């Protein structure tokens, strides 16, 4: 399987239904075909959501890792309290 863009008919701004039906399983096919495609969407690009400018920094990676660790600890602690 390639990229999502390979499943889109760029000229018509819609899904290439034939290709979607050939490559996507029946369960997900309906979800995809019912999702509208933009006829004038911007070009895809990488974006790092934890930073307001979208650029990865070590600081933002550290913050995200620490946040994940805190959430994991919090969930584990609360599970033990419920038991």
15-32 tens-digit pLDDT: 999 999 999 999 899 999
Distances in whole angstroms, Cα of residue 68 to Cα of each of 9, 19, 32, 55: 39, 38, 30, 19
Query: What pLDDT does 61 receive?
Result: 87
Same domain, 1 and 38: yes
| Beta-bridge mates of residue 9 | 14
Whether residue 22 sits in one domain with residue 5: yes
pTM: 0.46
Determine the structural domain holding residue 69 and report its residue range: 46-83
- Say yes or no: 52 and 81 in one domain: yes
Percent of the chain at pLDDT > 90 equals 29
Does 36 lie in the same domain as 2? yes
Q: Whole-number mean pLDDT of the chain?
A: 82
Same-domain check for residues 32 and 51: no
52 and 38 within one domain: no
Q: Are 29 and 7 in contact (CB under 8 A)?
A: no
């Amino acid at each position: 399987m390639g990229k999502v863009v390979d499943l889109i008919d760029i000229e018509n701004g819609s899904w290439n239904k034939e290709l979607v039906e050939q490559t996507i399983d029946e369960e997900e096919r309906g979800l995809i075909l019912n999702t509208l495609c933009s006829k004038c969407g911007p070009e895809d690009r990488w974006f790092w959501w934890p930073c307001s400018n979208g650029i990865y920094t070590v600081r933002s990676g550290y913050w995200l890792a620490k946040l994940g660790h805190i959430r994991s600890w919090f969930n584990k602690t609360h599970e033990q309290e419920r038991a």
